[in-house]
Amino acid sequence: MRGTGVIRDMPEVTESEALTTLHRVFGYEAFRGEQEAIVDHVVAGGDAVVLMPTGGGKSLCYQIPSLVRPGTGIVVSPLIALMQDQVDALRALGVRAGFMNSTQDFDERRTVEAAFLAGELDLLYLAPERLRLDSTLDLLSRGKIALFAIDEAHCVSQWGHDFRPDYLTLSVLGERWPDVPRLALTATATHATHEEITHRLNMPAARHFVASFDRPNIQYRIVPKDDAKKQLLSFLRQEHEGDAGIVYCLSRKSVERTAEFLTRNGIEAVPYHAGLDAGMRARHQSRFLREEGLVVVATIAFGMGIDKPDVRFVAHVDLPKSIEGYYQETGRAGRDGLPSNAWMAYGLGDVVQQRKMIQSGDGDETFRRRASAHLDAMLALCETARCRRGQLLAYFGQAPDPAGCGNCDTCLTPPETWDGTVAAQKVLSTVVRLQRERGQKFGAAQIVDILLGRRTGKVIQFDHDQLSVFGIGEELAESEWRGVVRQLLAQGLLAVEGEFGTLALTEASGAVLRREREVPLRKEPKRPSTAGAASTASGRGKRRSKSAAAELPEELLPAFEALRAWRAEQAREQGVPPYVIFHDATLRDIVTTAPASVAELGTVGGVGEKKLARYGEGVLAVLSSLDGSGAAGSAPERDGHPVSGGAPDGDWPDTEPEPDDWI
Ligand code: ADP
Ligand code: ZN
C-alpha cells in the first residue's frame, strides 16, 4: 500500500526543526503515532494520504510543515462556518493564519490576499468552491505555497456519506503545482474510500499513512431501546451532569422534541438541523463551542470539522445508517484524550424503519444493495455479544485485541446469550400461518400480540385468536419478544416489507423452521439498566462537569475549578471558546504539576511560548490565591427545573427522517 513517495525540492530543514516547532508553538512534548513520519515526509516535499481517526491529531500533520517549509500552507476545508474559530485558535498560538470565504467583505478579503502575497501568512484556509475560481488560482500562483492540505478528503468520494462535488476539481492542484506537496486527510477509513481518494485527487505517488483507528478513551455502549428520551435523560444525569455533548437523532422533528424534552428537564440543550435558518444554526454552533456544558441535539447535519476537544459524550437515540457514519460521529467525543462515552439506544423500530426506508427510497438497485450492506454491518455491531471495539476495528481492517478492550459494554458486562431456536420458530410459524392460512401480512406488534395471547381490537377484528399459534408465547415478556424479532431481523432470518413494515420470511428462515439451524440470541434485560430517570433526579445543582474533573484527587478539584472559572473569564473577554485559551487536559496537568514559576509552567503539555507569555502570570496568580485556603472557584448555579415525565413514545421513531445534508 505504500508508494515510494516522490521527494521534490528538498530544503535544508532537519527533523529537529519540526520538533522545535512542536515544543515552542504548540507546547507539546512529543509527536503522536505517525505524526512525526508524516511531518518529515511532507517537510521533505512528499505527497501523503493520511487516514487517522477523529481526534488522532491530523491538524499538526500539515500545520507544522506549513510553519517549517517556506511559503504558506493552503488548507482546503469544507466548513466555512468553522474557519474563523480555527484561525483564532492558531493566532492564539502566535501562528500567522488567515482564511478566505464568502462570509468576508471585500476589504477583509483584500487584507488577507495582501498578507498572502507579502509572504506574511503561515496558513491560509480556503473552501473548496474557492478553488474553482480563476481569481483564486491566479492569486495562489502569485504567492509562495508551502503545501496543500486537503482536509476531510473523503468528501471526494461519490459513494460516501459526505460527497461534495467541488472536491472533484481539486485534482487540478497537482497539475498546476506539481512541485508543491499535497496531503489528503480523512477520518473515514474503509478501503474503498481510501482508494477513491487516491484516485480522484490524482495522487498515485503519495505515501500512505494509516494510523490505528482505535480511540481507547471512548467507551462504547449500546443499550436496548425502551423509552429513548428517558433513557437518555438518565444517562446524562447519572454520568454527564454539566458536560458538553452531542445527541444525534434521525429526523428534524425528533431533534426538536428531544432538545425541548431535555431543556424541560433541566439540561441545557439546543437543536441543530438543516431545516433551521442559517442564523440560528450559527448561533447554536457558536454557543456549543463557547459554553462549557451545552448539549446539541442534531441530525447528521452537525459536527463535521467541529474540533471542540472536550465533548464528553456522543449519544445516538436512533440507529445510524452506517458504521462509517457512526464512527465519525462518536469520534467527536474526547479529542482531548480524557474519558468519554459513545452511547446508543437501539430497538426493533429502528430496524424496521431503516429496512423500510431502503426499500421504498428512490435509489436504484445498486444503491439499495449498498445501503443494506451498511445497515447489516451496523446491526451486527448492535447485536454482537463480543467486544464492540473489536468489531469496529475489524470493520476498518485492523486487528483487534483478542482478549477484548475492557472499555465497552460487552467487555465490562458480558451479555448472556440463550438458545432462542424455539422462540425463533414460534415467531416464524406465526408469520407463516398468517400468510398460508389467511393470506395476510402483519407488522411486529401484531405478531407479538398473537404470541402473547392478547385479545386486542386488531386481534379480534381479524380473528387471530383462532390461530393455533395464539398464546403460545406466554413464557416471554413483550419486550423480550420484540428483542427476538429485532435479532431475527438483524440476523437476516426475517425480512421487512412494504410501506407498512410487514414481516416476511427470508431464504434462511426455512432452516430454522426445519430445526436445521440453531438461533443463539442475546438476553434482553427486562428493565434496561439506564431507564427510570426519575429516581436519579437528586444531586443536581452545582453545574460542575463530572467527567472533566474525573480522576483528579478530591483536594485538587478547587484549583481545577478555579482555573476553569479564570479561563471562562478570559474566553469571554476575548470572545473565543474556552479551549482556545487552554484545554481541560492542560488545566488538569497544571493542577497536578502545581508549578511554582513561569518556567515550570512552561513544561506543562499544551503551554507553548505564546500562551506562557500571555497567561503565565495569570495562571500562577490563580494558583497562589488558592494556596492553603482550599477555596473553590465559584461555579455558576444551574436553575433547578422540575422533573416532568415526557410522554413515553416507545421505541418507534415518531417521524420519518428527512434528507439532511450537512451544511
Ligand atoms: P483530528 O483533526 O485528527 O481530529 P486534531 O488535530 O484536532 O485531531 O487533534 C486532536 C487533539 O489532540 C487536539 O486537541 C490536539 O491539540 C491534540 N494533539 C494532537 N497532536 C498532539 C501531540 N503530539 N501531543 C499532544 N496533543 C496533541
Ligand atoms: Zn470491548
Parse the chain into domains and list their residue ranges: 15-210, 218-412, 417-522, 554-642
In this predicted structure, the answer to whether residue 9 has a pLDDT above a threshold of 70 is: no
Categorize the per-residue pLDDT at 8 as very low, low, confident or very high, splitting at 50, 70 and 90.
low
* The pLDDT value given to residue 663: 40
Q: Tell me whether domains 15-210 and 218-412 share a fold.
A: yes
* The pLDDT value given to residue 3: 44
| Nearest ligand atom owner, CA of 149 | 1
587-634 confidence digits (pLDDT tens): 999 999 899 999 999 999 899 999 999 999 999 999 998 875 544 333
Specify the CATH number of the domain 15-210.
3.40.50.300
Structure-model confidence comparison of residues 501 and 559, the more confident one: 559
Structure-model confidence comparison of residues 612 and 399, the more confident one: 612
In this predicted structure, the answer to whether residue 541 has a pLDDT above a threshold of 70 is: no
Cα-to-centroid distance, 32 and ligand 1 (Å): 9
The secondary structure of 63-76 as a DSSP string is HHHHHHSSSEEEEE
Ligand 1 pocket check for 52: Cβ under 6 Å: yes
Tell me the one-letter amino acid at 179. Answer: D
**DSSP code, position 184:** E
Taking CA atoms only, the protein residue closest to ligand 1 atom 10 is: 55
* The pLDDT value given to residue 261: 97
Give the cell for residue 427.
Answer: 415467531
Q: Are 19 and 58 in contact (CB under 8 A)?
A: no
- Name the fold adopted by 554-642: DNA polymerase; domain 1 (1.10.150)
Pairwise CA distance, residues 331 & 236, whole Å:
18
Cα-to-centroid distance, 102 and ligand 1 (Å): 28
Which of 28, 79, 95, 327 has the most ligand 1 atoms within 8 A of CB, as the residue to mutate?
28
Ligand 1 pocket check for 54: Cβ under 6 Å: yes
Ligand 1 pocket check for 32: Cβ under 6 Å: yes
* The pLDDT value given to residue 160: 66
Ligand 1 pocket check for 58: Cβ under 6 Å: yes
Q: Which atom of ligand 1 is nearest to the CA of 26?
A: 16
109-127 confidence digits (pLDDT tens): 999 999 999 999 999 999 9
Taking CA atoms only, the protein residue closest to ligand 1 atom 26 is: 28
Give the cell for residue 98.
Answer: 488567515
Of the listed ranges 202-216, 598-612, 638-652, the one predicted with least confidence: 638-652
Neighbours of ion ligand 2 (CB under 5 A): 387, 389, 404-405, 408, 411
Pairwise CA distance, residues 271 & 560, whole Å:
30
Q: Which top CATH class is 417-522?
A: mainly alpha
* The pLDDT value given to residue 635: 35
**Does pTM top 0.85 for this prediction?**
no
Specify the CATH number of the domain 218-412.
3.40.50.300
Ligand 1 pocket check for 56: Cβ under 6 Å: yes
- For the chain, first and last CA: distance in Å? 33
Ligand 1 pocket check for 28: Cβ under 6 Å: yes
Categorize the per-residue pLDDT at 549 as very low, low, confident or very high, splitting at 50, 70 and 90.
low
Q: Which atom of ligand 1 is nearest to the CA of 309?
A: 14
In this predicted structure, the answer to whether residue 636 has a pLDDT above a threshold of 70 is: no
The crossing angle, in degrees rounded to 10, of helices 444-452 and 421-438 is 110
* The pLDDT value given to residue 634: 36
Displacement of CA 631 from its chain's centroid (Å)? 37
Cα-to-centroid distance, 326 and ligand 2 (Å): 16
Give the cell for residue 308.
Answer: 471542540
What is each CA distance from 142 to 113, 183, 239, in whole angstroms? 10, 21, 54
Average pLDDT of the chain to the nearest whole number: 86
49-66 confidence digits (pLDDT tens): 999 988 889 999 999 999
Of the listed ranges 64-68, 376-380, 398-402, the one predicted with least confidence: 398-402
* The pLDDT value given to residue 394: 87
Cα-to-centroid distance, 89 and ligand 1 (Å): 13
In this predicted structure, the answer to whether residue 639 has a pLDDT above a threshold of 50 is: no
Q: Are 255 and 316 in contact (CB under 8 A)?
A: no
Q: Are 187 and 56 in contact (CB under 8 A)?
A: yes
| Nearest ligand atom owner, CA of 50 | 1
